[in-house]
Chain A
């Protein structure tokens, strides 16, 4: 079993605390992605799990064993680094076999395991080259091969795809997912790219400024962000956020925006807000579409008219840019057609999917 527990883990560099009391339980064979903007402490957290950074406070255990004072080599982990860190003076074969050689495995076992890993990653043809003779994607594969060859309990990845070009990144992303299905192990994966996080993770851990903000399955985090930070960080395009104030109109609570625009408070949130409360109204591009160009709306729909400033056709869908009460918002349109700049369209808002956040704390009022 290779479950991982982080128990109130902190990290200081000198006087500066960069990770503040993190708690996280990672299950056996789970694929967990730590995601957050650069500098939020993802790498530091991962490196503490690896044993490459000392843990200032708290406790980390792997497979039920506290590893705080264990050297990396005793933790039964492997790691793929952002710059791959392949050994330049060794061939691919030697790179893959290095860990086994250090562990004093027999030649036969080394050969067999190396070949097995090479087959999984389709790098059999590269075995006698040195890292300098490989392309970025091939180096990436070799780095993953080196990680799986020892059959460790845990794989750690630190932004492994960020040095690849966009196309290769998408391809390798799928490979990593496939790898996890073939080689069942616990994976902790660090990235600043929310798309990678969404596509790869069983569970996403959103971090900010050394804290964990939200943990959950990708769709849960996408659909129920706990605050405005997660709402705007996860999902592309980011969630539209418009400040407003709660007021009673026609016997129902409404969010009143600048310039007299209003939007009814979703029914399930009606008892979470009070008149006069300052809030931030949030909705995803997919939940506000022009009529006749939208997906069927579940639950309550709200009609409004918007002028479209810019349209960005992406093929099956088109992104529409408008201004709403002083905020720039993005909406989506299916069944593409030409949109004239400034064209006024009738929109449908899927009210039940919208969000309300407290203006002061930024916390979601869905609770």
Chain B
């Protein structure tokens, strides 16, 4: 009896702690989302209105240029830029990550550990510390304020991580799998796509989502290197809502929602793989 009660108390306590922790983590996010649906009037009211009275899509209509109130912020262009830059850089980082990860996992070559260590060490440099050199090189190359410029930077930022994660996955797959497939009639290429890739796709998927989120959310470098609707991304665009004396909290929050939602959707779509990716949940056959 006493045992059971003790256990129960333990469980309840765990849940309460989890709940409190989740509130701390999620509340700001939830507040931003809520704010996105409220008028500026209500947001700035004093004393604060805690329970929302008016919820509407007005702010979203506004920033996309519909409805009565117009603002001069080109959100659709920023959205497109973000999407193009994040998707392209993720795709390239994945291709390189897959080739690199496969090579590190499967082949012996000289200075292999050195190269690997070098890749990992490159992650220790904070991206923003590179902004000045990148700015100088990019201005020479004419890459300032271009999508290509940002794509290159994000690819470089992401490949150490994608290589590392994907290498771990290929390493788990016994090389005999590929050999068995080759004996069974496959070329090396077929063996890769038919056997090794399906077994490593959790790794590729999680590497993909991490790479996408990094590019999608990155602010520091993008704010230095983008200027106009040619390349400005959503996080940088957020700052457009700050004028000299005022901040359009409603519009900013609506835009934040627009940044959050695609990332959330993507995360949900691949969450099964993500868990496998994070726990390295093997392929033991």
Contact = CB atoms under 8 A, between A and B. Distances in A.
Contacts, number: 70
Interface stretch (A74-82, A207-215, A291-299): A74-82
A85 interface: yes
B185 A102 contact: yes
A83 interface: yes
B183 A87 contact: no
Q: Name the residue in A81, A82, A88, A131 with the highest tally of chain B Cβ atoms < 10 Å from its Cβ.
A: A88
B43 interface: no
A77 B179 CA distance: 12
A161 B144 CA distance: 63
Contact of A81 (B176, B187, B284): B176
A85 B199 contact: no
A256 B54 CA distance: 111
Given A88-B199, A88-B283, A132-B284, A71 B180 contact: no
Interface string B140-181: 000000000000000000000000000000000010110111
Contacts of A103: 185
B126 to A, nearest CB: 40
A51 B191 CA distance: 15
Interface string A301-323: 00000000000000000000000
Contacts of A72: 179, 182-183
A73 B199 CA distance: 21
A239 B239 CA distance: 86
A78 B185 CA distance: 9
Nearest to B178: A85
A102 B184 contact: yes
A11 B51 CA distance: 78
Contact of A89 (B174, B176, B185, B198): B198
Interface in A6-61: 50-52
Given A102-B190, A132-B284, A132-B285, A85 B177 contact: yes
Contacts of A89: 198-199, 283
A78 B184 contact: yes
Interface string A88-102: 110000000011001
B195 interface: yes
B84 interface: no
Given A89-B198, A132-B284, A98 B183 contact: no
A355 interface: no
Interface in A199-226: none
Interface residues of B, number: 20
> A52, A72, A79, A146: which has the most chain B beta carbons within 10 Å?
A72
A73 B187 contact: yes
A82 B176 CA distance: 9
A288 to B, nearest CB: 45
- Most A C-beta atoms less than 10 A away, residue of B179, B183, B194, B198: B183
A87 B186 contact: no
A88 B201 CA distance: 13
A71 B182 contact: yes
A280 interface: no
Interface string B108-134: 000000000000000000000000000
Nearest to B198: A89
Q: Which of B181, B186, B199, B285 has the most CB of A within 10 A?
A: B285
B283 to A, nearest CB: 5
B184 A150 contact: yes
A42 to B, nearest CB: 16
A98 B181 contact: yes
Interface of B: 174, 176-177, 179-187, 190, 194-195, 198-199, 283-285
Interface of A: 50-52, 71-73, 77-79, 81-89, 98-99, 102-103, 131-132, 146, 150
26 contacts: A50-B183, A51-B182, A52-B179, A52-B182, A71-B182, A72-B179, A72-B182, A73-B183, A78-B184, A79-B180, A81-B176, A82-B176, A85-B174, A85-B180, A85-B285, A86-B285, A87-B180, A88-B199, A89-B283, A99-B184, A102-B181, A102-B184, A131-B285, A132-B285, A146-B184, A150-B185
Per CB-CB distance, the 6 closest pairs between chain A and chain B, nearest first, are A88-B285, A85-B176, A99-B184, A85-B180, A102-B185, A131-B285
Given A78-B184, A85-B176, 18 more contacts: A73-B184, A77-B183, A78-B183, A79-B180, A79-B183, A81-B176, A81-B179, A85-B174, A85-B177, A87-B180, A87-B181, A89-B198, A89-B199, A102-B184, A102-B190, A103-B185, A131-B285, A132-B285
